[in-house]
Amino acid sequence: MARHVRCEPGTTVTVRVRKPDALSVVIRTWENESEILDAIQGTLPHVPRCLARREGSAVHSYVEGVPLSTICPDDKPVDSLRIKALAGLLAQMSQVRREALPPLPSAWPRNEKDGQGFLRTLAYLADRQIRQSNWATYGGLFAALGIPHDALTRLAERVPPMARRPYSLLHADLHRDNVIVSYRGTPPLICVDWELATYGDPLHDLATHLVRMRYPEFQWDEVTEAWAAAMQQTRPAAVNGLRKDLRHYLAFERAQSVFPDVMRAAQTLETAADQKSLDEATATVRRALQAAAEPLRLGNVPNETEIERVLYRWQASRHKRAQVVIGWTPDKRILNHPDFSDAAVLDALIAEGSAPAGSVFKGTAHLNSVVRVPRYPSPVVVRRKLASVCRREPSFLSEHAVLQAIERSPAKVAAPKVLALGESYQNEPFAIHTYAGPTDPDLPPAHPVHGLTPREASGLVDQLVELTLVDYRGLDPMAGSGNFFGWLSSELVRLVDQLPKKSQQLARVLGLPGASRLSEILARYKVTERSPALLHGDLNPWNLVRRNDELAFTIIDWEMALVGDPLYDLVRHMHLTPTRPEIRARMFRRWAKALPMTHTKNWEQDWHVYRWMENVRSAYIDLDRLVTGASLDAPNVRRAVDSYAMTLRAATASLGLPSRQLPNPYLAPALPRGDHGMNKHAGLPVGM
């Protein structure tokens, strides 16, 4: 055997065998590590040599020494001499000739000094090789944690122009386990494990090295300066724009790392069922989400309790004794639906943890998982309130009570049915509803995100008319005893008064009044008292699921239901949904004609007041979302904050105040985009 690889008998070698069941969690430029090693032998002669190879395995020469990690563990400082030696290794790689390396993939940037193009390529490769290749298995878990499927592609689209730096060979995985401290000291350090090597902007190598070496934070400047000094000796142009552009590569490294970190943590739970493993996985996922939150714009990161619950459901769904592990306690306020047994509830909870990404929907306040159970003919939704979300707009009625009142009534309102209510792991409440989307699990639910058709407008109005037939007295015994508009105004003032200090300060800078001044302005307006009815309270497009009958929609997410003026529900819907003037007129005509005068008196004058109030409400709520990052992964929230500039102008105009669009770091992502294209002010139609 030694003769076949031209070595003396007894020579120590390293046999490398790729694990067939290993997760695909890395970016690979080249599949064949031996070709990379062959290319760098002349420039880095002490790296391993490939002695023999075949598909899936290779024999390398053995590098004598010990990994740096055994001498200097992660998070411990690295001495200055070794830092300079490491920087020298990275600089030495820039001397490898491009012609000696294997051919690059066809998608590689043609301009070999284009940092922006290289970083975009990395982001797209990470999406294809890491995210997409694992999405079928882990997509539901990522969706439950608030990481959307397009997070990396959107990151690629945001990569800014950068300084020109010549491309070079990059190791791309230089951490303490991949650095060998040689016994002889000549050279002092040797790089191994070149399978992730690539060719591109040398700042990428510095960024991955800084993060994966786990340097203490106080050493980052020293490492960066040592790298710059070493590069000045070998490739001075590689240092161009260092201070300005390094942050973009660091952001990418943290962003893409969330995918392997979460998947590896989840994989450990497939075989382990103890609390220690769950705690360790929770801590790992929490750190990864916090690091990736800013570059991926994830909004509010789930807290530890929420992460633990998501991972527990993932773990339980894969456990052989899931029925024992999962457990649940029924809520005594209601009985299970007669068509949905206790066994069906258990089946739904077990299936919840392994629901695919296309069946997991994260809204502003709830996580919804669509699952199938053997004992029920149609898909059902397991619905959970998000533990980490602080919703500014409160709920006034219990959603399950509202849905049961609709089911008991003669009203022809298409709404989900409550099948079960209870608590599961850590006493977390859950509800199980009937599912409103298509029966084909591969088809997502359809929503009128671009506005309603004439048929749909008529169908929605007819359901709002029917909603007045629901007996609301058991839900809110005090309804109808006071001034609804006055109560609504006081709730808006209370909301503004309770905003965080940063949100209030920024509101003042942008020309929005404080709570006391807003109360004075609101007091100038009066609205006619009309007979109250049950209202949905949040008829945005994502709460309307299209159906193919005269009802047009199933109306979902009733957690913001309230009892009040039926005109308010219609006007708030027009505020939240793109509504063309002719559709708006059609809806008002049909609504006014179908309801008695007790529900419609003076609506022509009063709807403008409600519209004005919703402009103002959105200005405060969307600003707070921009400041806090709350619920930015929900599609209705994303659309609203993307057009905040127009929201602000509409609100200040409604208040009769000048708008002050001043530059502000919180609004940088939102204000510029609101000035172009169609009117997207929270769905407000042109002319309103």
Query: Which helix (H) or strand (E) segment is 554 a member of?
Result: strand 553-555
pLDDT at residue number 607: 97
Query: With a cut of 70, which residues of the chain have pLDDT below it?
Result: 320-325, 441, 480, 631-633, 659-688
Look-up: residue for tokens 């995985």? 173
Helix (H, G, I), strand (E, B) or coil at 562: strand
Q: What is the pLDDT of residues 524-540, one digit of tens each?
A: 999 999 999 999 999 99
Q: What are the tokens at 624?
A: 């707070």
CATH superfamily label, 3-296: Aminoglycoside phosphotransferase (APH), C-terminal lobe (3.90.1200.10)
Angle, CA of 508, 514 and 517, to the nearest 5°: 125
pLDDT at residue number 479: 76
Q: What is the pLDDT of residues 252-301, one digit of tens each?
A: 999 999 999 999 999 999 887 788 999 999 999 999 999 999 999 887 78
* Architecture of the domain defined by 454-683: Alpha-Beta Complex (3.90)
Q: What is the 3-state secondary structure (H, E, C) of 666-688?
A: CCCCCHHHHHCCCCCHHHCCCCC
Q: What is the pLDDT of residues 211-223, one digit of tens each?
A: 999 999 999 999 9
- Rounded Cα distance, 265 and 391, in Å: 30
Common-topology check for domains 3-296 and 454-683: yes
**Predicted TM-score (pTM) of this structure:** 0.86
Sign of CA dihedral 17, 19, 24, 25: negative
- Rounded Cα distance, 51 and 65, in Å: 19
Where are the domains positioned within the chain?
Answer: 3-296, 317-434, 454-683
* Cis bond upstream, residue 187 (ω within 30): yes
Question: Which option is the CATH number for 317-434: 3.30.70, 3.30.720, 3.30.1370, 3.30.200?
Answer: 3.30.200
